[in-house]
Structure 1
Amino acid sequence: MPRPRQFDEERVLSAVQTAFWDKGYAGTSLDDLMTASGLGKGSLYGAFGDKQRLFLRVLREYDEANDRMLREWLDKADRGIDVVRAFVSGPFRDPGGEQARRGCLLANTAMELSASTAEVAAEARRSYTATSAVLADAIRRAQREGDAAARLDPEVTAQAVLAGQLGLVVLGRIGQDPAALEVIAEALLTGLLPAA
């Protein structure tokens, strides 16, 4: 009979996620994962599988948490347009710019691994499809509330918003000034979401 786990799985996954996010998949060694998790190789891989399986689990949980957060924003927001604005410019409002330089775990991973790892490409497509759907709902709401032009196609506009935000994430990752990114984000939003 298997022994019960003697560690906090959620804490371990969070620590491992931080290690992968800081160094990328290829740059994160087994030693890094053992140090972050506080587990030995046997315990770590016995509980979560090999490095790739562990990484894919961490990535899926990250994506699902972001999806829940975006849906909660939409449920609680005073106006639909606020959700789109927060999605585009939120990562660049960190005063020290650390969030902008760190980037997004999914975007970083998609750039690093999508061409070589089919599972990562599939997860990125799944997650970006879910994000686009929430953004389209926010845009429809903004149209009903008079904050976005009725002529906009919500699905296409949502995909354009996502593409623009991902471009900003890449610029942040390479060290672009966060204040400049905020200005670009505002221009992006003005262009893609003209007022009604």
Structure 2
Amino acid sequence: MARPRAFDEESVVSAVRDQFWDAGYAATSVEDLMRVSGLGKGSLYAAYGDKHQLFLRALQDYTDTSHDFLRRALTEARRAIDALRMLLEAPIGDHARRPADSGVRRGCLLANSTCELGNSDADVLAHARRAYETSTALISNCVDRAQREGDVPADADPVLLARALLAAQQGIVFMGRTGMDTATLTATARSLATQLLPDHSAD
């Protein structure tokens, strides 16, 4: 009979995820993973496999959490158009909470990982494609609601607009990683919102 795990799996995965998020995959050593998790190499590998499998587990945790947050944000807003505009400014909130001298501008773990490993790791690339398609579907549903509420033209293609919004949001994330100030990021996000989601209330 297998012995029960004598550690909090959620805490371990969270700690490992943050390590990969801060340092990236290549720069994270097994010793780093042992340090942040508090587990020995044997325990880590017995529970999760090798470093690559542990990374994929942490990436899945990040994606699931992100999609849960996105789903709630898009469905609980009073009006869908407000949620769609919020989508573009959402990355700026995290940027503003992190001091400029923190030494870490995290960005999006999924985007970071795709940039680092997308050309060499088929598993990461496949995961990224699935994740972005899920995000697109969630945003597309919100666009559809905004159309029913009269805030987005009925002839707009929900999927194409959703992809444009997602691409714009990821652009804001990358700009934030360069150290661009919050005011500039906010102005850029609002300009994108004006162009992608113009106000049709007076039409």
Compute the TM-score of the two structures, normalised by the length of structure 1: 0.94
Describe how 1:12-23 pairs up with structure 2 within 5 A: 12-23=12-23
- Report the CA distance between 1:61 and its aligned residue: 1.6
Q: Of Structure 1 and Structure 2, which has the larger fraction of its residues in helix?
A: 1
Moved over 6 A (4+): none
Describe how 1:91-102 pairs up with structure 2 within 5 A: 91-94=91-94, 95-97=96-98, 101-102=105-106
Q: Which amino acid aligns with 1:190?
A: T
- Report the CA distance between 1:79 and its aligned residue: 0.9
Cα distance between partner residues in 1 of 2:156 and 2:194: 13
**Aligned equivalent of 1:144:** 148
Describe how 1:151-166 pairs up with structure 2 within 5 A: 151-166=155-170
Cα distance between partner residues in 1 of 2:4 and 2:179: 45
What secondary structure, in the 3-state scheme, does the structure 2 residue paired with 1:149 have?
A: coil
Range moving further from structure 2, 4-13 or 169-178:
169-178
- Pair 98,66 (structure 1): closer, same or farther in 2 beyond 3 Å: farther
**Aligned equivalent of 2:30:** 30
Identity of aligned residues (%): 51
Cα distance between partner residues in 2 of 1:15 and 1:88: 28
| Per-residue Cα deviation, 1:89-123 (whole angstroms, up to 9, x for no partner) | 11102434459921011011111110110111100
Query: Does structure 1 conserve the Cα–Cα contact (< 8 Å) formed by 2:165 and 2:196?
Result: yes
What secondary structure, in the 3-state scheme, does the structure 1 residue paired with 2:105 have?
A: helix
Cα distance between partner residues in 2 of 1:98 and 1:53: 32
RMSD, aligned α-carbons: 1.6
Describe how 1:1-196 pairs up with structure 2 within 5 A: 1-94=1-94, 95-97=96-98, 101-196=105-200
Query: Does structure 2 conserve the Cα–Cα contact (< 8 Å) formed by 1:74 and 1:138?
Result: yes
- Pair 111,124 (structure 1): closer, same or farther in 2 beyond 3 Å: same
Query: Does structure 2 conserve the Cα–Cα contact (< 8 Å) formed by 1:109 and 1:120?
Result: yes
Q: Structure 1: which 5+ runs fail to align?
A: none
| Per-residue Cα deviation, 1:58-105 (whole angstroms, up to 9, x for no partner) | 111211111122112223111111222222111102434459921011
- Pair 97,190 (structure 1): closer, same or farther in 2 beyond 3 Å: farther
| Per-residue Cα deviation, 1:105-160 (whole angstroms, up to 9, x for no partner) | 10111111101101111000000000011111111111221222223211101001
Range moving further from structure 2, 178-187 or 14-23:
178-187
Query: Does structure 1 conserve the Cα–Cα contact (< 8 Å) formed by 2:85 and 2:197?
Result: no
Q: Structure 2: which 5+ runs fail to align?
A: none
Query: Does structure 2 conserve the Cα–Cα contact (< 8 Å) formed by 1:97 and 1:178?
Result: no
| Per-residue Cα deviation, 1:4-55 (whole angstroms, up to 9, x for no partner) | 1110000000000010000011111111100110000000111001000000
Query: Does structure 1 conserve the Cα–Cα contact (< 8 Å) formed by 2:67 and 2:135?
Result: yes
Q: Which amino acid aligns with 1:130?
A: T
